[in-house]
Amino acid sequence: MVFNSYTFIVFFIFILILHNLPFSWKTKKINLLIASYIFYAAWNPPFILLLWLSTVVDYFVGRSLYNEENKSKRKVLLVVSLIGNLGMLCFFKYGTFLLDNFVTLVNAVGLDYHPAKPNIILPAGISFYTFTTLCYTIDMYKRKSEPVKSLLDFSLFVTFFPHLVAGPIVRPPQLVPQFETPRKASALQLQQGLLLISLGLFMKVVLADSMLAASSDAIFSATNMVSSLDAWTGVLAFSGQIFFDFAGYSTCAIGVAACLGFVLPENFRYPYAAIGFSDFWRRWHITLSAWLRDYLYIPLGGNRKGQFRTYINLMITMLLGGLWHGASWTFVVWGALHGFYLWVEKILQDRNKTTPQAAMATESLPVQNGLAFPAALKKVLPPGLMVALFTFFLVNVTWVFFRAPDFTSAWRLLQPMFSYQSTAAPVLTSMSLLKVLIIVVLMLIFHWKMRNTSVLSVAGKMPWWLLGIIWAVLLGLLILSQESSSSFIYFQF
Partner 1 sequence: MPQSSIAKAGILAIILVVIGFAAWEFYLRSKGIGIAYDDGPELWAAKRELADVPMDQATILIGSSRNKFDIDIATWEKLTGEKAIQLAVEGSSPLPMLDELAADPKFKGKVLLDVTEGLFFALAPPAFSQPNKMLKYYKERTPAQRASFAVNTVVESQLAFLDKEFFSLNAMIKESWVKNRPGVFMLPCSFPLDFKRVNFDRQCIMTKKFETDTSLRNYVKGIWYYYGTLDRMGPLKGPKLDSIFKTVQTAIAKIKGRGGKVVFVRSPSSGPYRAAEAAGYPRNAYWNRLLTSTGCQGIHFEDYPAIANFDCPEFSHLKQSDAIIYTENIVKILHDKGWTFPKENSKSL
Q: Map the footprint of partner 1 across residues 320-379, applying CB under 8 A.
A: none
Residue 17, CB half-sphere, CA atoms under 13 Å: how many? Answer: 5
Alpha-carbon distance 492 to 121, whole Å? 10
Alpha-carbon distance 212 to 344, whole Å? 32
Tell whether the torsion through CA atoms of 380, 381, 386 and 392 is positive or negative. Answer: negative
Residue closer to partner 1, measured from CB, 333 or 440 = 440
We find the least distance from the C-beta atom of residue 402 to partner 1, in angstroms, to be: 23
Whether the upstream peptide bond of residue 173 has omega within 30° of 0, thus cis, is no
Nearest to 302 by CA among 316, 291, 292, 314: 314
Residue closer to partner 1, measured from CB, 191 or 396 = 191
Nearest to 26 by CA among 204, 175, 153: 153
Interaction between residue 484 and partner 1 (CB under 8 A) = yes
Q: Contact, 24 vs 41, CB < 8 A?
A: no
Q: Map the footprint of partner 1 across residues 31-70, applying CB under 8 A.
A: 41-45
Q: Map the footprint of partner 1 across residues 160-179, applying CB under 8 A.
A: none
DSSP 204-217: IIIIIIIIIHHHHH
SS3 419: coil
Residue closer to partner 1, measured from CB, 214 or 397 = 214
Interaction between residue 469 and partner 1 (CB under 8 A) = yes
Is there a catalytic annotation at residue 325? yes
We find the least distance from the C-beta atom of residue 254 to partner 1, in angstroms, to be: 15
We find the least distance from the C-beta atom of residue 64 to partner 1, in angstroms, to be: 36
Residue closer to partner 1, measured from CB, 153 or 230 = 230
Interaction between residue 258 and partner 1 (CB under 8 A) = no
Alpha-carbon distance 51 to 130, whole Å? 9
Alpha-carbon distance 413 to 418, whole Å? 9
Residue closer to partner 1, measured from CB, 48 or 361 = 48
We find the least distance from the C-beta atom of residue 45 to partner 1, in angstroms, to be: 7
Stretch 404-433: interaction string toward partner 1, x if CB under 8 A:
---------------------xxxxxxx-x
Catalytic-role residue among 19, 163, 285, 325: 325
Stretch that binds partner 1, among 237-245, 391-399, 400-408, 461-469 (CB under 8 A): 461-469
Total residues binding partner 1 (CB under 8 A): 57
Q: How far apart are the first and last CA of the chain?
A: 16
Residue closer to partner 1, measured from CB, 107 or 452 = 452
Q: How many CB atoms lie within 10 A of CB 224?
A: 9
Binding site for partner 1 (CB under 8 A): 1-2, 5-10, 41-45, 186-188, 191-192, 194-195, 206, 210-211, 425-431, 433-435, 456-457, 459-460, 462-465, 467-469, 471-472, 474-477, 479-485
Catalogue the active-site residues. Answer: 325
